[in-house]
Amino acid sequence: MAAPTTLFREYRPLPGVHDETVGPDGSLRPEFQRCMSALGACQPAEFARHQGFAELALLNQGVTFSVYSDQRGTEKIFPFCLVPRVISARDWARVERGLRQRVLALEAFLDDVYGEQRALREKPLLRELVLGGKAFLPKLRGVLPPGGVRIHVSGIDLVRDPSGTFRVLEDNLRTPSGVSYVLENRLLSKRVLPEVLDLARAHGIDAYPERLAATLRSVSPEDPDASSVVVLTPGPYNSAYFEHSFLARTMGLELVQAADLFVKDDRVYARTTRGPRRVHVVYRRTDEAFLDPEVFRPDSLLGVRGLMRAYAAGNVALANAPGNGVADDKAVYPFVPELIRFYLDEEPVLEQVPTFLCARPADCDHVLGHLAEMVVKVVDEAGGYGMLVGPQASAAEREEFGRRVAAEPRRYIAQPLVELSTCPTWDASTQRLVPRRVDLRPYVLNSRAGPWVLPGGLTRVALVKGSYVVNSSQGGGSKDTWIQKEQV
């Protein structure tokens, strides 16, 4: 065991928590020994300079997100920690296999929900939750998506428990975001830490835009090579606008807003300087509720009137397909292992987090009796909003939340607090590395040819000491994620 070098010298993992980089005895994990020793050899002052340079580069390049609470559209950089998170080839192989399996099962589930509903006939509670939930779109029953794909892009959030086991925390099958930060973070690593990156033998990730473009073309209702594919954004004031323009730019596709599109005779057209031009595939990054005022919110100015009719007629592919919300609903999540067995006749590769469904009276009683140990989430909220982290909440907060759960149990699920793994993270105020909690969002593309997993992902880090919440809206940052290649 090599003695930890300068940066890691005083670094101590938290007791009872898996640390991504350092073993329980404080030594660097052997798989990451080479690259992390090189990083550790940095003096704190030198590292601080690198970190500052990386932050300035992000600001100058406009790698920013807009803050919802600020109507003037203030742009902030997504805080970035230059210390990478490395995942070994062996760990990744399992994750990759599990993600492919999960996406295939969820595709099958969506086909079933909008088709025969076999699973729903066998599982009454699931049936009730799916058909009664607002994510289910009855009008789409019987509509087959062009190319047979519904989950073109998914971001499946994973956490790592104290034993080092990856567990699925939630599925994002609608418009998962963040992949642009994955790619931008890697560019920063290449500029600032080239030697360390080289020693880590990490998989490249820059093929993502090309793979995404190919995925989108593959589902066109017409000849893919003659198809027009566009990226649909709500516009520059959307918090993820940077990502939308980033993806359009790197894929060489046009970025459109709803007002740029119109539907005539169930076909979608773009308004161009040379008159209308047919559009075959829309990678839509607008929320489903704002897609088409004919079907969803009639008050929406953002939508394209008639888009859903064109979709139902098979004249345009929408990625991701509308209606996917039934499969990433937090209330459906506890059923996913069963669904994997049901549709694929396989055992799930990836573990989940044990989940109590408050819709089940027994579960609800248990949750209410153990609020201090639970993380309680609202089923139809995302982004870390509307949740209770029991162990960190005050007694009054727990009591108040408990009343809400008791009033509307269907809206809640609860999970025991997972001791999320930590990663050494730069703390600018003390100029040293400190353990901070992380999760991982890998990205899976699904085309006619089947799922492909990007060998990388977005590692989100809770920058606040003691925090378990990694969402950027709640003070989270990100790290570059390096997947090691197999030893040859």
Partner 1 sequence: MISRVADACFWLGRYLERAESTARVLQVTRNLSLDAALTPRQCWQPVVVVEGEEARFAARFGPEMEDGEVVQRYLTWDEENLSSIVRSIGAARENARSIREVVSLETWEVLNELHLWMGRGDAPARYGDDRDGFYRHVRRACQLAMGLLQGTMLHDDPYHFIVLGTMLERAGQTARLLDVHHHALTQLATHQVVETAVFLALLRACSGFEPFMKRGRGPATTLAVASFLVLDRDFPRSIRFSISGALGRLERVRPVSAIGSPGAESLERLRALDAWMSAQRPAALEAGSIHALLTRVVDESAAICDAIGRELLGQPTPTLEQHQAQ
Interface with partner 1, residue 336, by CB under 8 A: no
Residue 271 CA to chain centroid, in angstroms? 32
User: 378 is written with which tokens?
Assistant: 């609202």
- Calpha distance 345→472 (Å, rounded): 37
3-state secondary structure of 440: strand
Cβ proximity to partner 1, 62 vs 354, nearer residue: 62
Give min distance, CB of 275 to partner 1, in A.
Answer: 6
Binding map of partner 1 across residues 50-89, x = CB under 8 A, - = no contact: ---------xxxx---------------------------
Residue type for position 445: L
Ordered DSSP codes for 364-431: HHHHHHTGGGEEEEETT--TTTT-EEGGGS-HHHHHHHHHHHHH-GGGEEEEEPP---EEEEEETTTT
Give min distance, CB of 66 to partner 1, in A.
Answer: 11
Ordered DSSP codes for 94-125: HHHHHHHHHHHHHHHHHHHHTTT-HHHHH-HH
Give the range of 254-262, 306-314, 328-336, 370-378 binding partner 1 by CB under 8 A: 254-262
Interface with partner 1, residue 191, by CB under 8 A: no
User: 436 is written with which tokens?
Assistant: 């901070």
Give min distance, CB of 274 to partner 1, in A.
Answer: 5
Cβ proximity to partner 1, 276 vs 386, nearer residue: 276
3-state secondary structure of 26: coil
Q: Is the dihedral of CA 287, 289, 294, 299 positive or negative?
A: negative
Query: According to CB under 8 A, which one of 15, 16, 142, 275 is a site residue for partner 1?
Result: 275
Give the range of 231-239, 306-314, 395-403, 436-444 binding partner 1 by CB under 8 A: 231-239
Q: Which residues contact 459 (CB under 8 A, 6 or more apart)?
A: 85, 423, 438, 439, 440, 441, 478, 479, 480, 481
Binding map of partner 1 across residues 82-121, x = CB under 8 A, - = no contact: ----------------------------------------
Query: What residues pair up with 390 in beta bridges, in sequence order?
Result: none
Question: Which string of b and e fits 22-61 if b means at least 16 CB within 10 Å?
Answer: beeebebeebbeebbbbbbebeeeebbebbeebbebbeee
Cβ proximity to partner 1, 236 vs 383, nearer residue: 236
Cβ proximity to partner 1, 88 vs 257, nearer residue: 257
Cβ proximity to partner 1, 191 vs 370, nearer residue: 191
Site for partner 1 in 232-251 (CB under 8 A): 235-236, 242, 245-246, 248-249
Give min distance, CB of 418 to partner 1, in A.
Answer: 38
- Calpha distance 466→80 (Å, rounded): 18
Interface with partner 1, residue 3, by CB under 8 A: no
Spatial CA neighbour of 328 closest among 458, 175, 141, 216: 175
Query: According to CB under 8 A, which one of 30, 43, 122, 272 is a site residue for partner 1?
Result: 272
Query: According to CB under 8 A, which one of 55, 222, 254, 351 is a site residue for partner 1?
Result: 254
Q: What share of the chain is helix, strand, coil (3-state, %, to 5)?
A: 40, 25, 40
CB 443 within 8 A of CB 182: yes
Query: According to CB under 8 A, which one of 273, 394, 429, 487 is a site residue for partner 1?
Result: 273
Spatial CA neighbour of 324 closest among 198, 167, 136: 136
Give min distance, CB of 175 to partner 1, in A.
Answer: 17
Give min distance, CB of 414 to partner 1, in A.
Answer: 42
Cβ proximity to partner 1, 17 vs 270, nearer residue: 270
How many residues of this chain interact with partner 1, rule: CB under 8 A? 25
Give min distance, CB of 243 to partner 1, in A.
Answer: 11
Give min distance, CB of 230 to partner 1, in A.
Answer: 8
Cβ proximity to partner 1, 236 vs 354, nearer residue: 236
Give the range of 43-51, 93-101, 188-196, 266-274 binding partner 1 by CB under 8 A: 266-274
Q: Which helix (H) or strand (E) holds 451?
A: strand 450-453
Query: According to CB under 8 A, which one of 128, 161, 222, 260 is a site residue for partner 1?
Result: 260
Cβ proximity to partner 1, 130 vs 255, nearer residue: 255
3-state secondary structure of 161: coil
Ordered DSSP codes for 30-74: GGGHHHHHHHHTS-HHHHHHHHHHHHHHHHHTT-EEE-TT-TT--
Cβ proximity to partner 1, 273 vs 429, nearer residue: 273
User: 116, exposed or middle or buried, with CB in 10 Å at 0-12, 13-18, 19+?
Assistant: exposed
User: 139 is written with which tokens?
Assistant: 């009008």
Interface with partner 1, residue 271, by CB under 8 A: yes
Which residues of this protein are in contact with partner 1, per CB under 8 A? 59-62, 231, 235-236, 242, 245-246, 248-249, 253-257, 259-260, 270-275
